[in-house]
């Protein structure tokens, strides 16, 4: 007898939770009325406490850390990229300490922390990834965001076979497919994939940025609330989950 194959699973993860009240409202609406299943919370955000309270009120919303290292970098805001260290002589131990501080702040809320990723993908920088993965494992956070397209776009030609090996050695997990958003934008990098359910996957993450009061975040929210998106997911037998299933 032929066994039924498991359904493909999709995590719709909203970045920037806690950055502002307007973003918090968009993420919670996207969760309560749409397809958002998970959010990455900024321990440095001005609306962190509000986001924590909302997360406790919405226990089906998976919560992870959105590690914010912008204070250490010059940021190309239009493209959402970290381009250079503000102080090249600063020891990397300062970034390690800040990472551990942000992890500790989130864990102190009592929320189950399912994953870690980085604002502007800071955690994926080759000189930082191993240390951040080690701290992720140390604090028993089981999932870390990784996607090959980041390196293809910014560090073309850099060998990356070691990264998944490193993840496994730390006992961490990551999804097999990463969608960098609903659709390509002006700042898209060559290796990025966007929402496309015709691509086969076992478990994928779709990164989204819903919010209020900013046109681009409002558009993101409308995608998250779209009945057409729900119909497409149902037609392809995709199950909506959060990262707790990987941990």
How open is the CA angle 129-153-206, to the nearest 5 degrees? Answer: 75
- The residues spanned by each domain of the chain are 9-245
CA distance 172 to 163: 11
Among residues 209, 237, 242, the alpha carbon closest in space to that of 223 is found at 209
122 Rama class: left (phi>0) / alpha (psi -120 to 50) / beta: alpha
**φ and ψ at residue 138, rounded to 5 degrees:** -55, -40
3-state secondary structure 66-111: EECCHHHEEEECCCCEEEEECCCCCCHHHHHHHHHHHHHHHHCCCC
**Residue among 203, 171, 174 nearest 64 (CA):** 174
- 9-245: which CATH topology? TIM Barrel (3.20.20)
Burial class of 84 by CB neighbour count within 10 A (0 to 12, 13 to 18, 19+): exposed
What is the longest distance spanned by two Cα atoms in the chain?
A: 63
34 vs 182: CA distance, rounded Å? 14
Kindly report whether the global pTM for this prediction surpasses the value 0.85.
Answer: yes
pLDDT 10s digit of each residue in the chain, 247 long? 445 668 899 999 999 999 999 999 999 999 999 999 999 999 999 999 999 999 999 999 999 999 999 999 999 877 778 989 999 999 999 999 999 999 999 999 999 999 999 999 999 999 999 999 999 999 999 999 999 999 988 898 899 989 999 999 999 999 999 999 999 887 777 889 999 999 999 999 999 999 999 999 999 999 999 999 999 999 999 999 999 987 5
- Look-up: residue for tokens 């990229």? 81
Closest CA to 148 of 169, 128, 163: 163
């Amino acid at each position: 007898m032929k066994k039924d194959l498991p359904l493909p699973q999709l995590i719709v993860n909203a970045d920037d939770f806690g950055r502002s009240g307007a973003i918090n409202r968009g993420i919670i609406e996207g969760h309560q009325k749409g397809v958002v299943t998970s959010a990455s919370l900024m321990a440095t955000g001005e609306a962190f406490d509000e986001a924590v309270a909302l997360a406790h009120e919405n226990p089906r919303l998976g919560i992870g850390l959105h590690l914010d290292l912008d204070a250490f970098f010059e940021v190309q805001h239009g493209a959402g990229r970290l381009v250079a260290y503000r102080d090249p002589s600063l020891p990397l131990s300062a970034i390690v300490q800040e990472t551990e501080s942000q992890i500790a702040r989130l864990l102190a809320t009592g929320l189950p922390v399912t994953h870690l990723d980085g604002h502007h993908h800071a955690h994926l920088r080759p000189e930082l990834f191993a240390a951040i993965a080690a701290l992720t494992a140390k604090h028993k956070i089981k999932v870390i965001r990784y996607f090959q397209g980041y390196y293809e776009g910014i560090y073309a030609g850099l060998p990356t076979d070691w990264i998944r090996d490193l993840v496994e050695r730390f006992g961490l997990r990551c999804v097999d497919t990463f969608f960098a958003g609903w659709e390509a934008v002006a700042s898209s990098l060559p290796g990025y994939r966007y929402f496309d359910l015709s691509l086969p996957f076992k478990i994928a993450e779709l990164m989204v940025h819903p919010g209020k009061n900013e046109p681009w975040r409002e558009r993101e929210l409308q995608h998250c609330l779209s009945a057409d998106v729900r119909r497409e997911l149902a037609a392809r037998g995709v199950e909506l989950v959060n990262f707790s299933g990987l941990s």
